[in-house]
Amino acid sequence: GQQVMQIPQYQHVQEGEDFTTYCNSSTTLSNIQWYKQRPGGHPVFLIQLVKSGEVKKQKRLTFQFGEAKKNSSLHITATQTTDVGTYFCAGRSGNTGKLIFGQGTTLQVKP
């Protein structure tokens, strides 16, 4: 079945360093979403990418969707302690509401 793989599983950075998480799908996606889950919390929607090659920015966060619509990345510039949490990508293929989540990347930021 369809799989969405996400790497790395964990990342520890010093505050101020950059961070990137990568997401790869076994099939072409109609769109991809990114979520953030703070420790002890629930996932919160960050963004949705739909177009091939799309790039979107939210302050220090940059999201990319690959040309083949099978991979995506989230890059955080100059991490802060408030960025701590687990970041999930979630891909959708076809026209259903069903999302396939990656395993998540847990980010720890040392002050």
Residue 95 contacts another protein per CB under 8 A: yes
Residue 62 contacts another protein per CB under 8 A: no
Minimum CB–partner distance for residue 88 and another protein (Å): 6
Residue 99 contacts another protein per CB under 8 A: yes
Residue 85 contacts another protein per CB under 8 A: no
Chain centroid to Cα 4, Å, comes to: 11
Edge-to-edge strands, sheet with 19-25: 4-7, 19-25, 71-76, 61-65, 55-58
Query: What token pair was written down for 6?
Result: 């996400």
Cα(75)–Cα(55) distance, integer angstroms: 11
Q: 3-class DSSP state for residue 81?
A: helix
Residue 91 contacts another protein per CB under 8 A: no
Residues forming the site for another protein (CB under 8 A): 1, 6, 9, 30-31, 33, 41-45, 48, 50, 88, 90, 92, 95-104
